[in-house]
Amino acid sequence: MANEAAAKQSAWENFSKGLLTENPSLRQMLGLCPTLAVTTAVTNGLGMGLATTFVLVCSGVVVSLLRKVIPNSVRIPAFITIIASFVTLVMMLVEAYLPALNDALGIYLPLIVVNCIVLGRAEMYASKNPPLASAIDGLGMGVGFTISLVLMSAVRELLGAGTLAGIQIMPSFIEPMIIMVTPPGGFAVLGVLIAGSVWLEQRRARKEGRPVEAAPESPCDGCALACGLNDPASPDCARDAADVLVAKVEAALEEEPRIVRVEVQGEEADA
């Protein structure tokens, strides 16, 4: 009984991580192209989410079954071939039975082949775990992706067109916010949903007594040079210049312990 309970708990954790903690769109920032492009209507978001979920589950199971057969040197082309097979099947089914949805999704339906969510789960999880766990992982990630798409499309369709799933909701005298069905509106709604997902995760962590991760410190924190750039990647960063100077001085002293002159960014310094 204890083993069964542990197995159920493990399966639930494997499934639920894709809903919030590792949500593909809201936490891992994957699949943002279709997330922003097709979420102008609830039916589009739901259709894209379900299609991606089907491909995630099926490709994950097949990759897991073949994980010991596929050579490591060709694993990525093999994974793409497997994913493309299921995407082709989805495209044929949608085109045959849901032509309106096929027209609405357009190029984004076949682009599931190169969706980072699908390929990422095949590489990071399915290729290292058994079929059942891979299917649960793919289902969790797909459901999480679908939820984020439906939430985005519901907000954008309601505010931008006054409808939900094509049904008029807003009164006719209220002018729709056309910007919500444009790219700027998509980015705005996505940002709000990301902030909401972070808030929910932190709230759950506090209830469970887990420490809430603090925001990472700036690389410039604690730097005594105070050059004012606040960008260590910049070639003008004083910290980088100082590090280069110190490295050159140490290398020169190791070769010959005498006074040397080192040139850094056109300026000379005595060592």
For the chain, domain boundaries: 7-207, 221-271
Q: Are 271 and 261 in contact (CB under 8 A)?
A: yes
Q: Cα dist. 23→14, 72, 108 in Å? A: 12, 28, 20
Over residues 62-93, the pLDDT tens digits come to: 999 999 999 999 999 999 999 999 999 999 99
Full DSSP string of 109-156:
TGGGGG-HHHHHHHHHTGGGS-HHHHHHHHHHHHHHHHHHHHHHHHHH
Alpha carbons within 13 A on the beta-carbon side of 61: 10
pLDDT tens string, the chain, 271 residues long: the values are 545 555 666 888 899 999 988 999 999 999 999 999 999 999 999 999 999 999 999 999 999 999 999 999 999 999 999 999 999 999 999 999 999 999 999 999 999 998 999 999 999 999 999 999 999 999 999 999 999 999 999 999 999 999 998 888 888 888 889 999 999 999 999 999 999 999 998 888 888 887 766 555 566 665 655 566 666 666 566 655 555 555 555 666 566 555 445 444 444 444 4
What pairs with residue 262 in β-bridges?
A: 269
pTM of the shown model: 0.76
Report the alpha-carbon distance of residue 258 to residue 271 in Å, rounded: 9
Report the alpha-carbon distance of residue 67 to residue 123 in Å, rounded: 10
Tokens of 127: 């290729």
Alpha carbons within 13 A on the beta-carbon side of 9: 6
Report the alpha-carbon distance of residue 44 to residue 85 in Å, rounded: 22
